[in-house]
Chains A and B, each alone.
Chain A
């Protein structure tokens, strides 16, 4: 059991309601997109096998309710997380402004052993909407905020599957970095995201 536990990487997706958390998860795991995902009540997760070098890991991706009122559930769902993904909608300013709240709330509820270095990844989703014309959060602004916190940043479209894989590879890599048992892996020498991914601005871990 102990070894199996080590192979499991737990990732939590947080962000305001309607930014596309469920869609991102489904796009990454099932390569599917639907306009009709229901609002997430409580929490759910999907798993996906990922391979790094010659080892297999199970990525367990937790999708949570986006309304802040449900945060008291976090205690149960966030524990044991290896990486936290913060999602906002590039077309909704408030969802960007809330990122820091989500980050802080996560650190409080998950209380990781080393909060200073706990890995986060930020995703700016829905860049496809209206050909980018309804966008209100500029890439520059988002990058600047992420850089100030040392957080990798990706722009994605769950609908079109754009940059989703790259983002999740970075997420998985960061989750691995958080695993204290994995001494073989020295994540800062690995660049699974690759340099050729479009719009990947982060993961210089």
Chain B
């Protein structure tokens, strides 16, 4: 265990690889830059997009629409955004506001990064951050075109995807890639700036509640925020939390007023859940038996602080109604004559809200997992499948051809194989697919995992992988196809299994920040109980809620096969990455919030909490928790995303290679 450190040169190797990759793409873009700059002398519009809007307030109806352009002049790239004249969507927005937000020819040499956001509901938007740390307000692409926007910039300026966050694109970034983490982490909190000199003079006239339209630097902005909200310590997440709650409460004020009366008494004694049931059986999903137990166990003298979002959750969005799963006919309608999926966004949205019918999963999962690209044709996919099949056989043969004599002298191989063999025989054996002791499917799990450990030798095998693989094999059936789907999944989840567990640590950290944002009293409770490491959620996150019989419909008897099916349904929803790449974290928050009054009321400490969560079963129906999670995700919005450090799984890895597998061999490879 300690001696392996001697072999652990992976950090250096990773560093070298990333530097190498960085310089390679630098050369690429430099050469294209030089090539084109020589040819063009005058201004050339290289990109134009209409209906790109700014929302100066939180009201969706109040927007300033305009035209976004990228202009190339003398080898430099500029961005402009000019609002349309006389087409204001709201009478409240004056021409002055429009000029306030106008972006006039910003050279890309002044731009540090662009962050892309894809919210659950609504339009994709980007936030452009300047080298000074200041940011323009979010630009909403009502007609789409974010991808082209970024692609065009990449053609004409040095743009790289952040190693840490697939949605952050760094401009002119020549730094050590390891330093990007910090800078991109700060992006969402960067302060908005408008380049109109009049804005500083009349901040109070700006309708923007979130930035005051004022030009100031980042430090003074934070200082001001802290002064305004000097609550406990100057934790930006706390400020964000207040911000998001204020914002949310505005939107829901109407609904709130109508429901507050209803729940007034519930808030009084803290037993919201019990009272809620009486009044609102429709939206209530607590199992009755568990609930009555709760009520008995709750010590009467422990007041449970009210959930700050409780009213809002019920009255506002609370997620959209779930839909029936996507069926074959509907799916075929998404495919063009050659088999391309032209509107992948709509497909993902559809699956997000309803999942996929079991028979169709085999086909759809390849896209969801990223093994097939949405814009590939039937022919291309067929070709890919056959190529990948032989590639799989090649990799598999690498370990298959190891003779007994060779294995005798290959300890690491034997240990790795031993560990895999130990785990596959204890993975989902209660499912009929894996039930038989000599099941070919168990052998198949073994072969795929062993092959994967050769395909990605650095990551190797880690416990939990068999849990992730087993449903994929169950759905895909074919060994090679399963392998490549698993490979695609591990591209996203690999860091969870790193030796230093960095993927897990960043997710648990993000989870703590999200709870702080979305349920301050619960956060304070965890803090008081020294539970902020959130290790009690470790299993949820590592194997994506598997083995956790949490998701059982109320009216059905708990059944292993059904539990398996529910996990599968949850996974395909998570894999759409619709709304947030990190929906799994919001699912954690949603479950914790569902049980908050029990957790706080019973005064659970770390041990009790871990036990409680490990044994949570049959308590929540999946659709309800997904709706909760979606609502929380919308509620948290951009502030939620800013709680999640760049590169947190399951964010996509950097362009083509996975450079962040930092561990070398450990004792069992």
B463, A41: Cβ atoms under 8 Å? yes
* CB-CB nearest in chain A for B429: A36
Q: Looking at chain A's contact residues, is the secondary structure mostly helix, strand, loop, or mixed?
A: mixed
- Of A67-75, A129-137, A184-192, the stretch lying at the interface with chain B is A67-75
Q: In the complex, what distance in Å separates the CA atom of A77 from the CA atom of B531?
A: 12
B535, A101: Cβ atoms under 8 Å? no
Among candidates B1, B463, B467, residue contacting A70 with C-beta atoms closer than 8 Å: B463
With A17-B668, A45-B607, A98-B667 as contacts: A67 and B430 at CB distance below 8 Å: no
A42 to chain B, nearest CB (A): 4
**Chain A residues in 8 Å Cβ range of B592:** none
- CB contacts under 8 Å to A, within B316-333, are none
B543, A41: Cβ atoms under 8 Å? yes
- CB contacts under 8 Å to B, within A11-52, are 16-18, 36-39, 41-45
Q: In the complex, what distance in Å separates the CA atom of A17 from the CA atom of B533?
A: 24
With A36-B429, A76-B606, A101-B1 as contacts: A44 and B614 at CB distance below 8 Å: yes
**Interface size bracket, B side:** 35 or more
> Does B466 sit within 8 A of A, measured CB to CB?
yes
- CB contacts under 8 Å to B, within A129-173, are none
A41, B422: Cβ atoms under 8 Å? no
> Does A104 sit within 8 A of B, measured CB to CB?
yes
With A36-B429, A67-B668, A69-B501 as contacts: A42 and B542 at CB distance below 8 Å: yes
Residue-wise interface mask of B (186-201) relative to A, using a CB-CB cutoff of 8 A (1 in contact, 0 not): 0000000000000000
With A17-B419, A36-B426, A70-B463 as contacts: A41 and B501 at CB distance below 8 Å: no
B668, A42: Cβ atoms under 8 Å? no
B419, A76: Cβ atoms under 8 Å? no
> Does B464 sit within 8 A of A, measured CB to CB?
yes
> Does A60 sit within 8 A of B, measured CB to CB?
yes
A17, B422: Cβ atoms under 8 Å? yes
A86 to chain B, nearest CB (A): 13
Give how many A residues have a beta carbon under 8 Å from the other chain's beta carbons.
31
B547, A101: Cβ atoms under 8 Å? no
B500, A105: Cβ atoms under 8 Å? no
Q: In the complex, what distance in Å separates the CA atom of A33 from the CA atom of B668?
A: 26
B485 to chain A, nearest CB (A): 22
Q: In the complex, what distance in Å separates the CA atom of A17 from the CA atom of B417?
A: 13
> Does A94 sit within 8 A of B, measured CB to CB?
yes
With A70-B463, A101-B1 as contacts: A42 and B426 at CB distance below 8 Å: no
A41, B1: Cβ atoms under 8 Å? no
In the assembled complex, 27 residue pairs joining A and B whose CB atoms fall closer than 8 Å, in A order, are: A17-B423, A18-B418, A38-B427, A39-B426, A39-B463, A39-B467, A41-B538, A42-B535, A42-B610, A43-B538, A43-B610, A44-B614, A45-B610, A45-B611, A60-B607, A67-B668, A68-B1, A69-B462, A69-B501, A69-B666, A72-B501, A76-B533, A76-B606, A98-B667, A101-B1, A102-B1, A104-B2
- In the A-B complex, the 10 residue pairs with the smallest Cβ-Cβ separation, listed nearest first, are A101-B1, A42-B538, A18-B422, A42-B539, A76-B535, A67-B463, A41-B539, A68-B667, A39-B463, A36-B429
